[in-house]
Structure 1
Amino acid sequence: MIQIKDLHKSYQMGSNSLHVLKGINFDVKEGELVSIMGSSGSGKSTLLNVLGMLDEADEGSYILDGVPIRNLNEKVAARYRNKFLGFIFQSFNLINYKSALDNVALPLYYQGMKRHERIEKAEYYLEKVGLAEWSHHLPNELSGGQKQRVAIARALASEPKVLLADEPTGALDSVTSYEVMDLIQGINDEGKTILIVTHEPDIAQMTKRIVNLKDGIIIDDSPVKQIRAKVHV
């Protein structure tokens, strides 16, 4: 699903160049659940930005579902993002004046889907994440965990090939974090490819493979015995 070979990325900082990614080699098969870990400055956010087509590498290759990702103008990059990727953010990134339903339906508008189809699909995915009764509530009427569920429903609605989650539990307490990870594990069980950037070891243990970054290189890439998220009802 994802093939990255000898990826390099530098940023110009005044007269100096900061070499952030220093030859990343990284493959993800369809249906994997992978966590990317590393301290601040390790390059994990830059790697996620490249994977998400929000930034482009200086050297190396990135192939997503058989499509080489390179030299994309913003219009093409946006189209590819909409087609291939779903994003889940630490800060949820919901539109405050739109209901949960409208937030989930929004990416489908950009796909040119008719309104009644968008609403039907958004309702389906809100039900899937357990929020059917909250569909007409605004984000400020939802808890942190509910907001993240809306964000997950929105990411799923466009039926992406890959979900990219940037610290999806970073703004949540531990009980809610485990509820969100239980949902993510369930989505992965259905076959969805998911990458999670996290600094929390217990969250990483809930994935099936941990990739550790340090100073722009992968220092360890190992399968792990997945711990299922325990949800207290």
Structure 2
Amino acid sequence: MIEIKNLHKSYHMGKNSLHVLKGINFTVSEGEMVSIMGSSGSGKSTLLNILGILDEADEGTYTLDGTLIKNLNERVAARYRNKFLGFIFQSFNLINYKSALENVAMPLYYQGVKRNIRVEKAMHYLEKVGLADWATHLPNELSGGQKQRVAIARALASDPKVLLADEPTGALDTKTSYEVMELIQGINDEGKTILIVTHEDDIAHMTKRIVNLKDGIIIDDSVVTQVRAKSEAYV
């Protein structure tokens, strides 16, 4: 599903250059659930931006579902993001003046899906995350956990190949974090490929594989025994 070979990325600031990714080799098979960990400056955010087609490497290749991601203009990059990827963010990134239903339907709008089908699909995914009764509510009327559930429903609405989650529990308390991870694990159980960037060790162990970055290189890539969030949810 994802194949990265010899990935390098540098940022230039005046006469100085910061080499952030230093030859990353990384593959993710369809249906995997992988966490990416690393301290600030390790390169995990840069790697996520490249995986999300928000930035491009200086050297190396990135292949997503058999498609080489390279030299894309913004229009094509946006189309690929909408086709292949669903995003879940720490800060939810919901549109404040739109209802939960309208937020979930937004990716389908950009795909040109007819309004009645958009509404039907958006409601289906709100039901999936347990928020059908909150469809008409605005984000400021929702709790943090509910906002993240809306964001997950939105990420799923266009049926992406891969979900990319950037610190999805970072703004949530422990109980709510485990509830959200239980939902994400269930989505993975259905076969969706999921990558999670996190700095929380307990969250990382709720995935099936942990990739550790340090100073722009992968220092460890290990399959782990997955901790089911349900068993921890109310501890």
State the TM bucket, normalised to the shorter chain. over 0.9
Task: Output the amino acid matched with 1:182.
Answer: E
Which residue identity is paired with 1:128?
K
Tell me which residue corresponds to 1:222.
222
Counterparts in 2 of 1:196-215, with a 5 A limit? 196-215=196-215
Aligned to 1:37: 37
Distance 1:210 1:232 in 2: 24
Give the deviation of 1:15 after TM superposition: 1.1
**TM, length-normalised to structure 2:** 0.98
The aligned runs of 1:69-84 (5 Å cut-off) are 69-84=69-84
Letter of the 2:13 counterpart:
M
Mapped pair 1:86 → 2:60: no
Name the counterpart of 1:186.
186
Correspondence 1:124 to 2:94: no
Aligned counterparts of 1:232 and 1:158: Cα–Cα separation in 2: 32
Distance in structure 2 (CA, Å) of the matches to 1:89 and 1:15? 33
Deviant stretches of 4+, over 3 Å = none
Distance 1:94 1:13 in 2: 32
2:167 is the alignment partner of 1:167: yes
**What is residue 50 of structure 1 aligned with on the other side?**
50
Could you tell me how far 1:109 is from its partner in structure 2?
0.3
Instruction: Look up the equivalent residue of 2:100 and give its one-letter code.
Output: A
CA distance in 2, matches of 1:232, 1:174: 9
TM-score (norm 1): 0.99
Deviation string for 1:82-109 (max 9, x for gaps)?
Answer: 0000000000000000000000001100
Deviations 1:159-206 (A, max 9, x none): 000000000000000000000000000000000000000000000000
Letter of the aligned partner of 1:154 in structure 2? R
- Give the whole-Å Cα distance in 1 for the aligned partners of 2:234 and 2:138: 26
Task: For residue 232 of structure 1, report the CA deviation from its aligned partner.
Answer: 3.6
- Percent identity reads 84
The alignment's C-alpha RMSD in Å is 0.8
Q: Hey, what does 1:20 align to over in structure 2?
A: 20
* Residue aligning to 1:96: 96
Gaps of 5+ in 1: none
Q: Deviations over 1:52-75 (max 9, x none)?
A: 000000000000000000000000
Task: State the SS of the aligned residue for 1:36.
Answer: strand
